[in-house]
Amino acid sequence: MEIKPLFAMPLAVEQIPEHEALCAELAPLFLDKEAAGDRWRNETRRETQKGALFESRFDLFDWEDPPVRRVAGFCHAAVARLVTSLSDYDAGERTRLSFDYHAWFHVTRTGGYQGLHHHQNASWSGIFCVDPGDDLPDRPDSGLVRFHDPRWCSAHYMDAGNRRLNAPFHHGGYDVRHRAGQLVVFPSYVMHEIFPYVGERPRIVVAFNCWVRMKP
């Protein structure tokens, strides 16, 4: 019997080398911007954003600060590798791919969270963790990212025939717990949510959307 993995959804996870020094530079930089208030804040408050959550403007990858340049380069290299590894472009076409980004940072404090949403009008999105915040053994769901199965009707009927399928054919969500220096890249259409964060140390991440075009 030949079994084809139809309608698969890729999710890439990569750790930046020697992340400690980089994250130690990024965290105070972002916290200073947060402290400046509306000067760096995204003017659009989204309905899915609740509680103590600061979202910056979407020009982060244009900043000239050295730690920002490094994380932007790392994220771009990861997206470029992912796109070329999953696509059938030949060597000449790969050199003509053009990548554009909107990127921003989030600072989440106790009680902040994001409801179910997706990143429309982009092909790839990513989250780079600068600081996951406090690790609380009694709250393993604090700040958790849950990706939801895009096959919206796949679990409408469950019985012994499909309840315990192995990956990648199983049903339900997929949870990601952030680690400092970790990048997660996913298709922008995937619905996801961030559970309420509980902790004294702020949770800091970089997020981005990517558009890929073929130059003439």
**pLDDT tens sequence for the chain (216 residues):** 999 988 889 999 999 999 999 999 999 999 999 999 889 999 888 888 989 999 999 999 999 999 999 999 999 999 999 999 999 999 999 999 999 999 999 999 999 999 999 998 899 999 999 999 998 888 999 999 999 999 988 889 999 999 999 988 988 889 999 999 999 999 999 999 999 999 999 999 999 999 999 999
Spatial distance between the Cα atoms of 14 and 17, rounded to a whole number of angstroms: 9
**Radius of gyration of the chain from Cα atoms?**
18
Q: Which residues contact 209 (CB under 8 A, 6 or more apart)?
A: 101, 102, 103, 119, 121, 122, 124, 125, 188
The DSSP result for 27-61, as a single string, is HHHHHHHHHTGGGTB-S---TTEESSEEEB-SBGG
201 contact partners, CB below 8 Å, separation of at least 6: 131, 133, 134
Domains along the sequence of the chain with CATH: 12-153+170-214 (2.60.120.620)
**pTM for this model (two decimals):** 0.93
Residue 98 to residue 86: CA distance in whole angstroms: 16
Whole-angstrom distance, CA of residue 180 vs CA of residue 212: 27
- Residue 22 per-residue DSSP state: H
